[in-house]
Structure formats: structure tokens, C-alpha cells
Amino acid sequence: MKRSTVIYPPAVIGVFGSGQLGRMLALAARAMGYRIHTYSPDHDSPTGQIADREVCAPYEDLDAVRKFVRQVDVITFEFENVAAAVAQVAAEEGVPVRPGGHVLHTTQQRLREKQFLRSAGLPVTPFAAVHSEEELQEAVAQIGTPAILKTAAFGYDGKGQMRIDAPEQALSAWNTIGRQAAILEGFVDFACELSVVAARGMDGAFAHWGVIENVHRNHILDLSVAPAQIDPRLACEAIELARAVLEKLDVVGVLCVEMFLDRRERLLINELAPRPHNSGHLTIEASITSQFEQQARAICGLPLGATDLLRPAAMANLLGDLWSNGEPDWSTALAIPGVKLHLYGKKEPRAGRKMGHLTALAGTIEAARTKVLQARAALAEKPDSVQR
């Protein structure tokens, strides 16, 4: 590795987006002596609370973007929908964007992402493009039902998705998502959902945290457990798929591959996230190097850190719904040995909003799962709000 390509602390990492992913990157990067600047339209954001500098401006304000870019040494994203214009400005200013604009371009749009995966020979959920009523009918004929109609422009956490159980429901589903460019996906009757969070360095080095098993509720990640209890042969296959994705996309940074394991033991890629992922939050406690430290290392050109899992781990998300009776009493969860609390500093606990998470480590996968669920249930049980 050429020393000149390495961005050493106390260089400034610039993050577009200011949510919890940026916050946890900031915590890890600051521990290593980096400085963090964050750019988003929001004030007092989860990332901004930890960052050295929080710039509040619209993503479309390219003058503000340019000013921001000039004050940082490397740029990364935790919110990908602004990538193209930012990548262009960064290129003009000679500031590296990692992962690169091409990765963001491909993964920003479901159709492009699926087409990339298919053309790379990687297994994906069956899909067809929908840009018109005619294409919609063709897609339904080709894919069949049940199916899921998803907007091509990325929604997140199940937003912009409609399930179609019979062909005659297709048109109203498309109307509901605003007749936008869409993708019709075959509904996968999966045995389980899996993810591989992996990283690739500037020198092409590859690291991963094994396979994580995920449970979603209302299309939002609810619970992650590592290591996934699957056949080791399938685990190797899943990791090799992730390796192929990172290599073929020429990723520098962290990327998560979300997959379904279907009833015939086939792995099918559902989607890619070109950044640390909710299912990888458990790496903060469970691994020698967390996904966030790894992101900092990768984008700064440092060697990747060891990713051994130290103990079985489980992570449960804390959504805004948990606040329906006021602020939960955190001591009820923290009284359980091995349970860790992460709160993202968000002020408004809206239903479905990711406010924080719990991680539990234990001697077995089952014990970790039980512990984290027990801890979350204890928080939900508390009827009275805590007086502060």
C-alpha cells in the first residue's frame, strides 16, 4: 500500500447524511483521532451531536456542498439519494468519494441494482421492470403472483412497496405508488432472511463478519442474530456472493448484501446497501473491529481490521412505538447482564422510527436472542414514564 494514498488522523471525514449510521461512524472514527463533518438539512442531528462540525443545508445547494467538500479529506455517505451531484462536485474539487460515485449510482435505484446483479451472474429475486401499464401487465404475466411492486427509486424500510396477491390488483397497486418507474418482484416464500456485511479496502482486501440472520416486522428490521444458524456450506456461499458483489462493483468501504434463503435452499439477493447496515450494529460489541471502524479504515486507505466474532450476539431495534407511554426506563434493560444500549439522540419518537437498539452477547446464539428480547420486553412493559 502506498503511504501517499492513506488518509491519516486527524484528517477530516465528511459524511453526507446525518442519521444514526453517521453517528456510529463518527464515534468510531473519533476514537481513532479523525475529525468528522456532517452535511444534511437537519440541525442537532444524530451525527451532528457527535461531529466536529454540522453543516445544515439542502442537498441541492451545490454551493454549500462545494464549500463542505473543500473542508474535508474524504467523503462518504450514509444517505445515498444525493450521490450523483455530490460525487460530481467532489471530483471537481479532487476529494475522494468512497465508495465511489459508480457504486452509489448502481445501488441508488432498484432496477439498476437488480440488472447489475443479474448481469454479473449473481442470483436475484425474479423481477421485471415496470414503466407503463403495458409493461405492468407483461410483468405480472411473467412473474406471476404473489408479487411485490416496489418503486425503482429507493424507498427504505418498506416504503414504496405494495404486495399483489392477484393479477387484477396490479393496476391499483401501481396507482398507489404514484405510477412511478417500478420493479415487480416475485414474492419469495423464504425460510429466513440473511445478510453479509463486508468491507473492501483500497488494496482490494476483503473482510466480512460472517452471515447474520434477520427478522423483519412491517418491512423494518426487528432482530438480528449472529452467527446465523445455517448450514456452513450455505454460509460460505453467502460470503462468496458478498465477495463477488464488492469486487464486481469495485467497492471501497462497507457494503451489506441482504438475501433470502428460499425453501429450496437457494440464496437470492434482495438488495445492496453501500454502507454499514442495521444488521451489522451488533459488530460494535461482538467483533474485534466494528463495521463503523472498518468503514473509517477502508475509506481512509488503512488496513482492514480483524472481524472475528468474539461471542454470539443479538440486536433488537428500538422503534419510536416504544415511547408510547413516555420515555422507557432504560435501567430495566440494562439490569440484564450482557445487554448494551444505543440511543441515537433523536428527539421525536415517531412510530416506526429507529430511535436506538439493544445488543446482547451471550455464550450461545439462543441465549443472546432470548436476552435481547427479554431486555426489550422489559422496556415495553414499563407503564409509567420515567420522571427526570
Comparison of 223 and 252: residue with beta carbon closer to ligand AMP: 223
The amino acid at residue 216 is: H
Q: Phi and psi for 318 in degrees, rounded to 5?
A: -110, 105
Q: Figure out which of the listed residues 179, 216, 248, 353 binds ligand AMP, where binding follows CB under 6 A.
A: 216
Q: Which residues contact 61 (CB under 8 A, 6 or more apart)?
A: none
- Cell 414504496 belongs to 160
Q: How far is CA 116 from CA 82, 109, 158, in A?
A: 20, 11, 22
Query: Is 270 a residue that touches ligand AMP (CB under 6 A)?
Result: yes
User: Of 164-172, 187-195, 284-292, 373-381, which segment contacts ligand AMP by CB under 6 A?
Assistant: 187-195
In this structure, the strands spanning 53-56 and 35-40 are: parallel
**Which residues 6+ apart lie within 8 Å of 94 measured at CB?**
none
Binding ligand AMP (rule: CB under 6 A), the pick from 271, 285, 293, 329 is: 271
Q: Which residues of 238-251 are buried (b: 16+ CB within 10 A; e: fewer)?
A: bbebbbebbeebeb
Which one of residues 18, 106, 125, 278 is an interface residue with ligand AMP (CB under 6 A)?
125
CB of 5 to ligand AMP, least distance (A): 34
Nearer to ligand AMP, 109 or 270 (CB): 270
With 0-12 / 13-18 / 19 or more C-beta atoms within 10 angstroms meaning exposed / middle / buried, residue 146 is: middle
Nearer to ligand AMP, 9 or 158 (CB): 158
Q: Does 237 bind ligand AMP (CB under 6 A)?
A: no
Q: Is 213 a residue that touches ligand AMP (CB under 6 A)?
A: no
Q: How far is the CB of 189 from ligand AMP (least distance, A)?
A: 7
Region near ligand AMP per CB under 6 A, out of 75-83, 185-193, 276-284, 339-347:
185-193
Measure the N-to-C terminal CA separation of the chain; round to a whole number of Å.
52
The one among 9, 123, 158, 352 contacting ligand AMP by CB under 6 A: 158
> Which residues contribute to the site for ligand AMP (CB under 6 A)?
125, 148, 158, 185, 187-188, 193, 216, 219, 258, 270-271
